[in-house]
């Protein structure tokens, strides 16, 4: 798809009939060293980049996303458009409205030109959405005051689809999203909360559609675009690393079994057996992962750090409190590994097929006899291991 993907470049305006439509493959665009200046050359504009805004849209996207710098062009396309046959780049004057808010004067003409270029492939259209108004009766999570009583510039309205919306304080959203990102949560897996006028908590998942249609457009977008771009970069970095690990055909099932075993350590003797056979205090190793795989996994990003750095932080934290024998496989390690490997336990435990597949997975050495485990194995480290480095092999014991 990458080499044959068609890219359409549309120069348009909401107040003049000026327009230009050009089409090249993604491969040819990449050869031009993709940038906003290169896009202007393609649409035959002599203006400076600062005189225009640039937007990207494809069939998989619910709204056009503004490209604020050159790096965001390919990053955004790789995340949202990789499976789409056509990607459209809109170029508008800097004082024009967003394609999400208004049609260009030349819309009908350029649409016809795009259809001629695309042949039998359907051209994706940007859905024009009117500006939203605050109709929320919710309370602010931070101040416990009605959100509508906040200054307009301190409110953020999220379009939840099907005519529904919710309003939050900008302070809450920025603080919560930042905190979740530092913990390693993907920007599209973050859940925010609001309180209705009866005191009931309402939760909303910040899907890619909400990011695109709500957070990075509107008067508050300047505060959220940097978080969106950082989140995109993290997604690309992690996806590239995981794709490398997935070259081992057994990796995905082994990783899911690994998370499942950590979560069920306290109740499943077979899970205990497999984890103890790793010979690693943090259970990274065979029979789940090869030595090379372990080194790659340790380098996976988790928040602002690597997994290895987060494991060291966990060890140091427990050591300082005198609780380095109380690292729990289920509560301490499973969430950390889940964030690194991109595996959500709540989703996995409800996936009957995945659980069946990992139950049938045959790991190396699975049938080797093992000594029975004592009930006292309720913690990662017994008191004899206090003070030793977490990368010393074979000395830890754990529980869920």
The DSSP element (H or E) to which 191 belongs, if any, is strand 191-195
Here the tokens at position 205 are 């998942």
CB 158 within 8 A of CB 218: no
Work out whether the CA dihedral 142, 145, 148, 153 comes out positive or negative.
negative
CB 299 within 8 A of CB 307: yes
Here the tokens at position 69 are 């710098």
Distance CA 341, CA 246 (A): 11
DSSP conformation letters of 15-37: SS---EEEEEEHHHHHTT---HH
Here the tokens at position 394 are 């074979």
Distance CA 22, CA 148 (A): 45
Task: Report cis status (omega within 30 of 0) of the bond before 142.
Answer: no
- Tens-digit pLDDT string for the chain (400 aa): 556 789 999 999 988 888 999 999 999 999 988 999 999 999 999 999 999 999 999 988 888 888 988 988 988 898 888 889 999 999 999 888 888 888 898 988 888 888 887 776 778 888 776 555 555 667 777 777 777 778 888 888 888 887 788 888 888 999 999 888 887 788 888 999 888 767 788 889 999 889 988 898 888 888 998 899 888 888 888 888 888 898 888 898 899 999 988 988 888 888 888 888 888 888 888 888 989 999 999 998 887 788 999 888 888 887 777 665 667 888 888 888 988 888 888 888 877 777 777 776 666 545 443 433 333 333 433 433 444 444 433 333 445 4
List Cβ<8 Å contacts ≥24 apart for 245-254.
245/293, 245/296, 245/297, 248/290, 248/293, 250/361, 251/289, 251/293, 253/357, 253/358, 253/361, 254/288, 254/289, 254/361, 254/363
Which one, of 367, 368, 348, lies nearest residue 358 by Cα?
348
Interacting residues of 330 by C-beta distance below 8 A, sequence separation 6+: 262, 263, 264, 265, 266, 399, 400
Listed in sequence order, the DSSP H helices in 299-351 are 307-320, 334-341, 345-349
Cα 168 from chain centroid (whole Å): 21
Predicted TM-score of the model (pTM): 0.55
Interacting residues of 367 by C-beta distance below 8 A, sequence separation 6+: none
């Amino acid at each position: 798809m990458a080499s044959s993907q068609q890219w359409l470049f549309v120069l348009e305006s909401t107040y003049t009939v000026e327009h230009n439509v050009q089409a090249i493959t993604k491969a040819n665009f990449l050869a031009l060293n993709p940038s906003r200046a290169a896009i202007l050359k393609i649409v035959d504009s002599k203006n400076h980049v600062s005189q225009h805004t640039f937007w990207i849209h494809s069939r998989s996207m619910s709204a056009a996303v503004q490209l604020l710098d050159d790096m965001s062009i390919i990053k955004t396309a790789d995340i949202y458009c990789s499976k789409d046959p056509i990607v459209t780049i809109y170029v508008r004057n800097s004082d024009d409205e967003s394609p999400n808010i208004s049609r260009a004067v030349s819309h009908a003409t350029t649409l016809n030109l795009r259809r001629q270029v695309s042949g039998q492939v359907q051209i994706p259209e940007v859905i024009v959405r009117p500006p939203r108004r605050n109709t929320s009766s919710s309370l602010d999570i931070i101040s416990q005051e009605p959100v509508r009583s906040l200054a307009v510039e301190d409110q953020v309205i999220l379009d939840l689809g099907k005519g529904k919306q919710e309003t939050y304080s900008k302070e809450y959203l920025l603080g919560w999203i930042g905190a979740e990102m530092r913990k390693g949560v993907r920007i599209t897996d973050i859940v925010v909360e609001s309180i209705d006028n009866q005191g009931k908590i309402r939760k909303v998942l910040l899907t890619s559609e909400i990011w695109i249609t709500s957070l990075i457009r509107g008067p508050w977008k300047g505060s959220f675009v940097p978080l969106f771009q950082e989140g995109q970069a993290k997604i690309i970095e992690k996806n590239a690393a995981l794709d490398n690990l997935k070259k081992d055909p057994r990796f995905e099932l082994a990783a899911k079994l690994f998370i499942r075993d950590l979560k069920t350590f306290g109740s499943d003797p077979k899970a205990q057996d497999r984890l103890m056979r790793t010979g690693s205090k943090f259970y990274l190793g065979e029979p789940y992962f090869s030595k090379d795989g372990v080194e790659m996994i340790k380098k996976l990003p988790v928040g602002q750090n690597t997994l290895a750095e987060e494991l060291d932080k966990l060890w140091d934290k427990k050591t300082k409190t005198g609780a380095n024998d109380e690292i729990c496989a289920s509560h301490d390690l499973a969430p950390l590994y889940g964030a690194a490997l991109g595996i959500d336990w709540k989703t996995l435990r409800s996936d009957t097929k995945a659980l069946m597949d990992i139950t049938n997975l045959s790991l190396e050495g699975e049938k080797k006899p093992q000594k029975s485990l004592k009930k006292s194995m309720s913690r990662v480290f017994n008191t004899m291991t206090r003070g030793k480095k977490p990368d010393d092999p074979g000395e830890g014991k754990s529980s869920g």
